[in-house]
C-alpha cells in the first residue's frame, strides 16, 4: 500500500513537472528535435531501474514519464510496454563543487588551466590539486570525490554517442589521496582505478591513497568495497572499518582492521578569546591509540574540510598539540591515527572550535598579537557574551582607563573565557617652553609613540587661550594655539585627552602684548602644497579675445606652493590648454601669485594677486596682471580641496581687457 502511494505521489509530481515544462516551452522558441530509442519493458523492470540503467541515476525516471503516457498504469512501467527513451545531450560527468587553494584541470588535448567552483569536467578530463590545496568533485547522482593536496584524478564516464549510461562513475587516481562519499539513495557506484588497483565503491565513505608502488583502500562506512589488482585479479571484499593494500603487480592483501579512531580528552579547549586583528592559540589533547605510529590533526573552516587552515602530523609519543595563529571565527577539528603500514583510522567526529573576537577600533590597537591597546580603548564583547576587567561589572562595552595589564573575563551562553590586555599610555614629545603674546597665534608639534589615536582633544588651564589639535601625519599632531587679547598671563598647561583619559600635557608661557618675545610665535612650520587643477577661461565674456588674440579654453595646471603662516601663502603653476579660436592649438600657461587668507580655518578663504603668462607654442604670447579669490578646505591629513575664480586684466590700446576664469582641484600637503 505504501509503495502504491509512493508511485501515485511520484506520478503526480511528474505530471506537474511535465505541465510546467510544456508551458515554458510554449513561451520559448522551438527546440531542436530530440532523438529517441525504443525499449521494451522486461519482467522485473521498474521505471527507476530503467532510469538507472540508461541514465545512470534512479531518480531520472522523469525522462520516461515525460515522453510516455503511463497514466492508465498508475505511471508504472509494465512488462511488454514499449518505451520511448530520449537520447540525452552531452552532460558533464562531474563538477567542481568546492575548492581551496590552487586547482587546475585539462581536457585530453589541451593545456592545464586554473578552475573554480562550478567548472564542469567531461570524459578523460584531468583534475589536479597543487600544494596546500583541496577540491571536491560532485557527480550527477550526488556522489562526491574529495581530493587532498597534490592529487591527480582522471574523470571517466560513458560514451557520448549512445543514450545508454553505465551505472558506475569512473575515475583514475594517479597520485595523492582521494576520499569518496556516495549518496545512499542514488543506486550508483564509483569505480576508482589506480596504477596498482581497481576498487568499486557503493554507498558510504572510503579513502584511496596512492604512494610510490602501492595503493591503500580503506572503507570507513557503508557497503563492502570490491578491490582487485590493476589487471582485475585477486578480488577481495573490504568491509567497513577495514582496509587493504595493493602493491604494484601483486593481488590485494587480506583486508585488515583500520586503527582505532582517536578520542579527545577533557583538556581540549574548544573556545578561545582574541582581540580584533589578532589570533589565538588553542591546545588539544587526545587519548593514545594502540599500535599507532603517528597522528594527523587538521583544522578547517567548514565541515566539508576543504578550506584547511592548520594540519600537522606528529609522532605517536606526542598526544597534545598547540594550534597557533587562528584568527577569530568558527573552525572544525579532526584527528586520525596512522599505523606502521600508513593505514589511517576513520577520522574522529568533527569537534567545533570557536575563536571569539573582542572588538576594538583599529586606531586603538597597538600590537594585536601582544594584546597591547591604547590607554582609554573601548572594547566590545563578543556576540552573546559580556566582559569586564577584575572588579568591574560585566558589560557588552567596556573601557580600559588605567595603565597596565588587565585580565579580561567574558562569559555567557555557558562560556567562560579569559585573556590579558595591556593598556599603554603613549609617549608624547613636544618642544618645551613655548612662549606667545596676548592676541597672537602659535602652534606646537606633538609626536606620539607608538601610535596616535583618532579623536584627541585638548583642554587648557586658565582663561583666554584656545587649543585645537589637528592630526597632520602618522603619529604627528599639530596643536594650534590662539591667545585672546586679554588672555591670562603666565604659564598655562595644555592637556591632551583621548576620550576621558589623559595622554600627556605641555606648557605654554603667555606674555603681555607689549612684552618682547624671544621666539617668533606667529610663524608656523611651513606647509607645502603640490597642486593639480582643471578649469576654463570664459573667452566669450569680452568679444576682444576670440577676435584679436589666441585665448585658451579648457586648462590643466600643476603647481607648487607654500603656506608658512596662518595668513600668507605663495604658489607658482604651469599648465597646458586648448586654443578656442578657429583651430585647436596647444597653449602653454604660467602663473605666480601671493595669497592672503585664513588657512587654519575650516574653509581657508583667501585672495590672491599675481601675474599670468599665456602663449601658443611656437607662436604669440602675452603677460597679464591677475587677481583671484578662493577656498582650500582640508580633507583628511594630507589633502586640501581647491576652488578658485580669477580674472586676467590685459592693457590693450589704453584700455583693460578682462578674461574671467575658474579652477577646481586638489593639493597634496607635505
Cα distance between residue 127 and residue 106, in whole Å: 7
What pLDDT shows up at residue 183?
59
Is residue 595 classed as helix, strand or coil in its secondary structure? strand
How far from 425 is each of 312, 343, 451, 496, 503, CA to CA, in Å? 40, 56, 10, 12, 6
**Span between the terminal Cα atoms of the chain, in Å:** 86
Bridge-based pairing state of the strands 126-129 and 120-121 = unpaired
How far from 269 is each of 294, 303, 311, 368, 415, CA to CA, in Å? 22, 19, 17, 21, 11
Domain 427-521 fold is: Immunoglobulin-like (2.60.40)
pLDDT, tens digit (0-9, with 9 covering 90-100), for 425-483: 888 777 655 888 888 888 888 888 777 777 889 999 988 999 999 887 777 888 888 98
Is residue 26 classed as helix, strand or coil in its secondary structure? helix
What pLDDT shows up at residue 549?
57
Q: Is the pLDDT of residue 42 over 80?
A: yes
Whole-angstrom Cα Rg for the chain = 40
The reported pTM is 0.56
pLDDT, tens digit (0-9, with 9 covering 90-100), for 496-509: 888 788 888 888 88
Cα distance between residue 404 and residue 375, in whole Å: 9
Q: What is the mean pLDDT of the chain?
A: 82
Q: How many CA atoms lie within 13 A of 59 on its CB side?
A: 9
pLDDT, tens digit (0-9, with 9 covering 90-100), for 193-251: 999 999 998 878 999 999 888 999 999 998 999 999 999 999 999 999 999 999 999 99
How far from 551 is each of 569, 581, 618, 645, CA to CA, in Å? 28, 7, 15, 17
Cα distance between residue 323 and residue 277, in whole Å: 17
498 CB-contact burial (10 Å; exposed 0-12 / middle 13-18 / buried 19+): buried
Q: Residue 239: name the closest of 225, 251, 250 by CA.
A: 225
Q: Which residues pair with 129 in a beta bridge?
A: 103
- Listed in sequence order, the DSSP H helices in 540-631 are 544-548
pLDDT, tens digit (0-9, with 9 covering 90-100), for 43-56: 989 888 888 788 76
- 217: which residues sit within 8 A by CB, 6+ positions away? 197, 199, 206, 207, 208, 225, 227, 238, 243, 244, 246, 252
Residues of the chain with CATH 2.60.40.10: 427-521
- 645: which residues sit within 8 A by CB, 6+ positions away? 628, 629, 630, 660, 661, 662, 663
Average pLDDT over residues 581-598: 80
Bridge-based pairing state of the strands 378-380 and 386-389 = unpaired
* Least confident piece of the model among 90-104, 117-131, 141-155, 528-542: 528-542
Architecture field, domain 525-669: Beta Barrel (2.40)
- Listed in sequence order, the DSSP H helices in 322-424 are none
Q: Give the pLDDT band of residue 326 (cuts 50, 70, 90).
A: confident
Q: Is the pLDDT of residue 520 over 50?
A: no
The cell numbers describing 157, all together, are 564516464
Residues of the chain with CATH 2.40.160.20: 525-669
Sign of CA dihedral 447, 450, 453, 459: negative
How far from 186 is each of 190, 197, 399, 481, CA to CA, in Å? 11, 25, 58, 80
Amino acid at each position: 500500500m505504501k509503495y502504491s502511494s509512493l508511485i501515485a505521489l511520484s506520478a503526480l509530481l511528474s505530471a506537474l513537472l511535465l505541465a510546467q515544462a510544456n508551458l515554458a516551452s510554449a513561451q520559448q522558441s522551438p527546440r531542436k528535435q530530440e532523438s529517441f530509442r525504443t525499449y521494451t519493458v522486461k519482467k522485473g523492470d521498474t521505471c527507476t531501474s530503467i532510469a538507472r540503467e540508461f541514465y545512470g541515476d534512479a531518480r531520472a525516471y522523469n525522462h520516461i514519464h515525460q515522453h510516455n503516457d503511463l497514466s492508465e498504469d498508475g505511471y508504472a512501467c509494465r512488462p511488454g510496454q514499449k518505451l520511448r527513451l530520449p537520447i540525452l545531450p552531452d552532460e558533464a560527468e562531474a563538477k567542481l563543487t568546492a575548492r581551496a587553494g590552487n586547482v587546475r584541470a585539462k581536457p585530453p588535448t589541451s593545456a592545464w588551466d586554473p578552475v573554480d567552483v562550478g567548472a564542469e569536467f567531461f570524459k578523460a578530463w584531468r583534475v589536479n590539486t597543487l600544494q596546500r590545496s583541496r577540491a571536491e568533485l560532485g557527480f550527477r547522482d550526488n556522489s562526491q570525490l574529495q581530493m587532498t593536496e597534490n592529487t591527480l584524478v582522471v574523470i571517466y564516464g560513458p560514451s557520448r554517442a549512445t543514450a545508454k549510461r553505465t551505472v558506475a562513475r569512473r575515475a583514475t587516481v594517479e597520485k595523492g589521496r582521494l576520499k569518496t562519499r556516495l549518496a545512499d539513495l542514488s543506486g550508483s557506484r564509483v569505480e576508482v582505478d589506480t596504477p596498482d588497483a581497481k576498487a568499486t565503491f557503493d554507498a558510504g565513505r572510503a579513502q584511496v591513497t596512492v604512494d610510490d608502488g602501492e595503493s591503500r583502500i580503506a572503507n570507513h562506512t557503508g557497503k563492502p568495497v570490491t578491490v582487485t589488482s590493476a589487471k582485475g585479479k585477486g578480488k577481495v571484499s573490504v568491509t567497513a572499518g577495514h582496509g587493504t593494500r595493493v602493491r604494484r603487480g601483486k593481488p590485494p592483501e587480506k583486508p585488515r582492521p583500520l586503527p582505532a579512531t582517536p578520542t579527545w580528552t577533557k583538556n581540549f579547549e574548544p573556545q578561545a578569546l582574541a582581540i580584533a586583528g589578532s589570533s589565538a592559540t588553542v591546545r588539544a589533547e587526545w587519548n593514545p591509540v594502540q599500535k599507532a605510529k603517528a597522528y594527523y590533526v587538521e583544522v578547517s573552516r567548514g565541515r566539508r574540510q576543504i578550506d584547511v587552515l592548520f594540519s600537522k602530523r606528529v609522532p605517536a609519543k606526542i598526544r597534545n598539540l598547540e594550534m597557533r595563529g587562528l584568527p577569530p571565527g568558527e573552525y572544525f577539528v579532526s584527528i586520525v591515527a596512522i599505523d606502521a603500514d600508513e593505514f589511517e583510522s576513520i577520522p574522529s567526529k568533527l569537534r567545533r572550535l570557536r575563536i571569539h573576537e573582542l572588538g576594538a577600533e583599529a586606531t586603538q590597537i597597538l600590537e594585536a598579537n601582544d594584546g597591547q591597546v591604547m590607554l582609554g580603548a573601548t572594547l566590545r564583547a563578543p556576540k552573546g557574551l559580556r566582559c569586564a576587567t577584575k572588579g568591574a561589572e560585566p558589560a557588552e562595552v567596556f573601557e580600559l582607563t588605567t595603565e597596565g595589564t588587565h585580565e579580561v573575563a567574558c562569559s555567557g551562553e555557558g562560556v567562560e573565557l579569559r585573556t590579558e590586555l595591556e593598556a599603554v599610555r603613549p609617549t608624547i614629545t613636544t618642544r618645551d617652553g613655548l612662549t606667545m603674546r596676548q592676541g597672537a597665534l602659535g602652534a606646537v608639534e606633538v609626536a606620539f609613540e607608538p601610535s596616535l589615536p583618532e579623536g584627541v582633544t585638548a583642554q587648557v588651564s586658565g582663561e583666554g587661550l584656545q587649543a585645537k589639535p589637528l592630526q597632520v601625519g602618522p603619529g604627528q599632531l599639530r596643536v594650534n594655539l590662539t591667545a585672546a587679547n586679554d588672555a591670562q598671563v603666565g604659564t598655562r598647561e595644555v592637556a591632551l585627552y583621548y576620550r576621558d583619559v589623559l595622554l600627556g600635557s605641555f606648557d605654554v608661557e603667555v606674555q603681555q602684548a607689549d612684552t618682547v618675545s624671544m621666539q617668533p610665535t606667529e610663524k608656523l612650520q611651513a606647509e607645502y602644497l603640490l597642486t593639480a587643477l582643471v578649469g576654463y577661461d570664459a573667452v566669450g565674456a569680452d568679444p576682444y579675445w576670440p577676435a584679436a588674440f589666441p585665448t585658451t579654453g579648457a586648462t590643466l595646471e600643476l603647481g607648487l606652493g607654500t603656506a608658512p603662516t596662518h595668513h600668507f601663502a605663495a604658489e607658482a603653476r604651469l599648465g597646458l590648454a586648448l586654443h578656442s579660436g578657429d583651430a585647436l592649438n596647444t597653449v602653454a600657461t604660467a602663473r605666480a601669485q601671493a595669497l592672503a587668507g585664513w588657512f587654519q580655518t575650516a574653509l581657508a578663504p583667501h585672495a590672491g594677486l599675481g601675474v599670468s603668462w599665456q602663449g601658443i607654442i611656437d607662436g604669440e604670447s602675452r603677460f597679464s596682471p591677475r587677481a583671484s579669490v578662493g577656498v582650500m578646505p582640508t580633507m583628511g591629513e594630507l589633502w586640501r580641496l581647491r576652488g578658485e575664480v580669477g580674472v586676467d586684466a590685459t592693457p590693450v590700446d589704453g584700455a583693460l581687457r578682462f578674461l574671467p576664469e575658474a579652477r577646481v582641484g586638489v593639493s597634496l600637503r607635505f
